[in-house]
Amino acid sequence: MVRVGIIANPAAGKDVRRLVSEATIVTAPEKVGLLRRALVGLDATPVAEVVYLRDSMHLVDQAVQALPQQRRPAFTLKALDLALRHSPEDTRAAAALMASQEVQGILVLGGDGTSRLVAKEIGDVPMLPISTGTNNAFPHWTEATAAGLALGFVASGYAQDAVRRRKRIEVHQDGELKAIALVDAVVLRPESSAVLAVWDPGDVEEVVVTQGLPETVGWSAAVGAALPTGPADAHGAHLRLDHESGRRLRAAIAPGLVADLGIAEVRALPYDTAITVRGPRSIALDGEPLWRVPAGQQATLTVSPHGPRVIEIAAALAVAAREGAFWQVPTR
């Protein structure tokens, strides 16, 4: 039986950066609409069961109820048996439970932070992230119907070549892996007041990225403006800031917010090359200050090729077409 999971983060795209930039808000009705279209796409594939996180806003339930009766999916829908904590722990716990139930793929609605929480828990289960967050360098901007089709075909055994291993940043402390990031790790100055998000260049000392492209927004875009680094490149990149430097760089560090940055150094960062962070420091992972290094201690940041397996939508649908998947009536 082909089983997939859905995790939709109701809080994605609502952080403090909307107060200091021009980021849009992806509303609950818009998320419901995305889910409706994704469910229709999934129903055209051999997926037999969908397990999902019943979040605080019941986004998946709303999506099903909003579909006309004749378009409601034929597969079985099951909510995970989880007690909600109304925190990021809900996303993490749902991802871990789905992996233990051996789903063949997971659809994720959120931004970089939501994708990071899922990726930390699912091992080699393929994920398909759709953008509904603030900074969305990692998830896809896509039509959700196509995303549902791609996820369903990959989970059903088609288009396995369209699942690509991505990079990650690993945070080690005392010899143990403590946390990961999928796009960027931003080291904050000791006196930084950032609590919920990083938007003030004066707070930032250095940036480590798995990828940095000038067409994105966020701190990875600062690297992309100086040294474009793609998801398929076999290395990451490292940027050090010097706010007094005469080397100035303009970068879109948030939607509608272009900053003037002083640059000390930018370089490619080979796999497993450690950047040492000495406390007291905070490290923002994919835009959210999550990890603190106490005074007298240190942590290391390294770019690793052992990140999550991600479904590339266009590639998956092209391979599925070549394999004749669209000609077959789904059997469940």
pLDDT in tens, 220-234: 999 999 999 999 999
Which pLDDT value is given to residue 24? Answer: 58
Q: How crowded is the C-beta side of 4, counted as CA atoms within 13 Å?
A: 30
CB neighbours of 153 closer than 8 A, spacing ≥ 6? Answer: 45, 159, 316, 317, 320, 325
pLDDT in tens, 37-64: 999 999 999 999 999 999 999 999 999 9
In terms of domains, do 162 and 194 share one? no
In terms of domains, do 57 and 184 share one? no
Residue 302 to residue 257: CA distance in whole angstroms: 28
pLDDT in tens, 199-210: 788 899 999 999
Which pLDDT value is given to residue 269? Answer: 98
Phi, psi at residue 78, to the nearest 5°?
Answer: -135, 125
In terms of pLDDT, which residue wins out, 288 or 284? Answer: 284
Long-range own/partner contacts, residues 85-88 (CB < 8 A, 24 or more apart): 86/56, 88/113, 88/117
**Contact (Cβ atoms closer than 8 angstroms) between residue 249 and residue 263:** yes
In terms of domains, do 183 and 141 share one? no
CATH of the domain at 214: 2.60.200
In terms of domains, do 145 and 10 share one? yes
**Contact (Cβ atoms closer than 8 angstroms) between residue 16 and residue 23:** no
Share of the chain above pLDDT 70, in %: 93
At residue 16, does pLDDT exceed 50?
Answer: no
Indicate the average pLDDT of the chain: 91
Which pLDDT value is given to residue 330? Answer: 80
In terms of domains, do 206 and 121 share one? no
Residue 218 to residue 220: CA distance in whole angstroms: 5
Per the structure, the count of domains in the chain is 2
pLDDT in tens, 80-133: 999 999 999 999 999 999 999 999 999 999 988 899 999 999 999 999 999 986
In a domain, 18, yes or no: yes
Mean pLDDT along residues 295-317? 97
Residue 162 to residue 159: CA distance in whole angstroms: 5
Residue 39 to residue 145: CA distance in whole angstroms: 7
In terms of domains, do 151 and 28 share one? yes
In a domain, 58, yes or no: yes
In terms of domains, do 108 and 143 share one? yes
Residue 169 to residue 109: CA distance in whole angstroms: 21
At residue 265, does pLDDT exceed 80?
Answer: yes
Which pLDDT value is given to residue 20? Answer: 44
Task: Please state which of the ranges 126-135, 236-245, 268-277, 310-319 shows the lowest mean pLDDT.
Answer: 126-135
At residue 304, does pLDDT exceed 50?
Answer: yes
**CA dihedral defined by 175, 180, 185, 190, rounded to 10 degrees?**
-50
In a domain, 156, yes or no: yes
Which pLDDT value is given to residue 133? Answer: 67
Phi, psi at residue 38, to the nearest 5°?
Answer: -65, -40
In terms of domains, do 12 and 150 share one? yes
In terms of domains, do 278 and 263 share one? yes
pLDDT in tens, 25-42: 678 999 999 999 999 999
- Count of residues making up the chain: 332
Mean pLDDT along residues 291-295? 93
In a domain, 332, yes or no: no
In a domain, 20, yes or no: yes
Give strand pairing partners of 63.
none
Q: How confident is residue 134, by pLDDT bands cut at 50, 70 and 90?
A: low
At residue 135, does pLDDT exceed 70?
Answer: no
CATH of the domain at 59: 3.40.50
In terms of domains, do 180 and 122 share one? no
Which structural domain, as residue segments, surrounds residue 105?
3-166+308-327
DSSP string across 58-76 = -HHHHHHHHS-GGGS-SSE
Residue 242 to residue 247: CA distance in whole angstroms: 9
In terms of domains, do 146 and 13 share one? yes
The neighbour count for residue 81, using CB atoms within 10 Å, is: 8
3-state secondary structure of 193: coil
Residue 209 to residue 301: CA distance in whole angstroms: 10
In terms of domains, do 12 and 160 share one? yes
At residue 287, does pLDDT exceed 90?
Answer: no
- List Cα–Cα distances, 26 to 56, 143, 145, 296, in angstroms: 16, 15, 18, 41
* Nearest C-alpha neighbor of 40 from the set 129, 149, 132, 126: 149
In a domain, 96, yes or no: yes
DSSP string across 280-297 = SEEEEETTEEEEEE-TT-
